[in-house]
Amino acid sequence: MSESNWSVPETEVVQRVRDRLDADGTDVLATIVGVEGSAYRRPGAKMLLDDEGGVGSITAGCIEDDLLAAAEAVRESGRPDRVSYDLMGDDADDVWGLGVGCNGVIDILLEPLDKTYRPAVEAFDAGRDVAVLTVLSADGGSPDGPEQLGDRAYYYPDEGHLRLPDGSPADEWPDEALAEPAADLAERGSGDVVTVEGLDGATLTVFIDGITAPADLVVFGTGHDVGPVVELAERTDFRVTAVGFRGAVDLAARFPEAHRTVTTSPGELDDALDIDDRTHAVVMTHNFVDDRLVVETLLRSDAPYVGLMGPRDRFDEMLEAFDDEGTTFDEADLESLYTPVGLDLGGGSPYQIAHSIVGEALAVSNDRTPGHLRQRDGHIHDRVDVDASPSP
């Protein structure tokens, strides 16, 4: 597994899955369904094993090579399989990881990538949270139930009930028992195994893979300082939209990392963009009037983050201009406004500024108070398992 392979943003893994689904290839999707002890990634981490090797990663190189062999078997049989690796202790670390941090037990679901997974990709692309429910085992019950390893259903929090991959109602799934954990995991974007009783009395063990849609980052501006913001935001898994006014420049060419580009006018944002509670905006048109119109629209929206470039007194001028036109914002409205934009990291180069802006958007999107982790109380839930080396 190459370094670049390990480093791909999550969004690129999903894009690759989509491409392979379209290509109708015979690929294998590997998903961590259980982790004991410490391993690099958490349940739900995925790796697509296609004819070019693997995209994405499950551990920092501990078992990927071995996984390729297991995947080959699944590709040939066309049937899903579960593999478990016990990487406990120093020996395992030596055997598997050359000290790159491999211990713990990892339980992995291997399945042929087929159209039953397409709804997950479509939800991700649509910016819609979803939970993918996959049967790991079923004991007892009738043969009509969802009893086979790999059988699948979907749960959309915005719908509230299970559906089969083809969109039809999942009548044979225990909707009531699964809806609540599915809703929770979809919102948190994590995965877990639940055991419930099937409608036919079977004991169902189901892996629920909560996939939270990526946060949107919308950048307003076409100046040469926008590029680094787009690039770093894409790296950190924001779905980036670059917005320009008056069609002055070829946005797609200028911002190749952007998920999409939109050319519109400050007065038509509501029509041109879907601004909602997962929209993180960075306003840097460097044009006072444009910025003011954009900020006015954003402060009236549900956008949780409105980063405005420029010194504080410039925004004070903006507030006066709002007053003059009879527009007023109360403190609650201004909660989402971050100006001067960015974290206080120092440094004035374009990339340093972009780093501070993207870091701030990331913190807000994850509801964190940016500061040193060493000063944070409690567990660092999604970081505590980063280190994986055994104690001596």
Which of the residues 132 through 171 are near a copy of itself (CB under 8 A)?
none
Please identify which residue in 143, 171, 224, 330 interacts with a copy of itself, judged by CB under 8 A. 224
Three-class secondary structure of residue 100 per DSSP: coil
Q: Do 82 and 4 touch, CB atoms closer than 8 A?
A: no
Distances (CA, A) of 280 to 101, 220, 296, 298: 35, 11, 15, 10
Q: State yes or no: cis peptide before 370, omega within 30 of 0.
A: no
Backbone angle region of 207, left / alpha / beta, with phi > 0 → left and psi within -120 to 50 → alpha: beta
Whole-number Å distance between alpha carbons of 54 and 282: 34
- As beta bridge partners, residue 105 has 36, 86
Please identify which residue in 143, 248, 326, 330 interacts with a copy of itself, judged by CB under 8 A. 248
For a copy of itself, give the closer residue by CB, 118 or 286.
286
> Shortest gap between Cβ of 230 and a copy of itself (angstroms)?
9
For a copy of itself, give the closer residue by CB, 116 or 365.
365
Distances (CA, A) of 315 to 219, 330, 342, 343: 18, 14, 15, 17
> Shortest gap between Cβ of 90 and a copy of itself (angstroms)?
9
Whole-number Å distance between alpha carbons of 284 and 287: 8
Three-class secondary structure of residue 345 per DSSP: coil
Name the segment binding a copy of itself (CB under 8 A); options: 23-31, 141-149, 174-182, 229-237.
229-237
Name the segment binding a copy of itself (CB under 8 A); options: 149-157, 260-268, 294-302, 349-357.
349-357
Query: Does 201 participate in binding a copy of itself (rule CB under 8 A)?
Result: no
Tokens matching residue 231: 């690039």
For a copy of itself, give the closer residue by CB, 127 or 223.
223
Kindly tell me the burial class for residue 324, based on how many C-beta atoms sit within 10 Å of its own C-beta (0-12, 13-18, 19 or more): exposed
Query: Does 219 participate in binding a copy of itself (rule CB under 8 A)?
Result: no
Tokens matching residue 387: 């280190």
| Total residues at interface with a copy of itself (CB under 8 A) | 94
> Shortest gap between Cβ of 379 and a copy of itself (angstroms)?
8
> Shortest gap between Cβ of 4 and a copy of itself (angstroms)?
7
What is the 8-class DSSP label of residue 97? I
Query: Does 366 participate in binding a copy of itself (rule CB under 8 A)?
Result: yes
Q: Residues 279 to 308: which contact a copy of itself by CB under 8 A? A: 285-291
- Count of Cβ atoms closer than 10 Å to residue 343 Cβ: 17
Name the segment binding a copy of itself (CB under 8 A); options: 74-82, 142-150, 177-185, 248-256.
248-256
> Shortest gap between Cβ of 154 and a copy of itself (angstroms)?
23
Amino acid in position 119: P
Q: Residues 71 to 130: which contact a copy of itself by CB under 8 A? A: 97-101
Q: Residues 303 to 342: which contact a copy of itself by CB under 8 A? A: 309-312, 314, 317, 321, 337-342
Amino acid in position 59: T
Q: Residues 39 to 68: which contact a copy of itself by CB under 8 A? A: 40-42, 57, 60-61
> Shortest gap between Cβ of 227 and a copy of itself (angstroms)?
4
Please identify which residue in 54, 80, 228, 266 interacts with a copy of itself, judged by CB under 8 A. 228
Q: Residues 253 to 272: which contact a copy of itself by CB under 8 A? A: 254-255
What is the 8-class DSSP label of residue 152? E
Give the pairing of strands 105-112 and 28-36.
antiparallel
Please identify which residue in 23, 95, 252, 386 interacts with a copy of itself, judged by CB under 8 A. 386
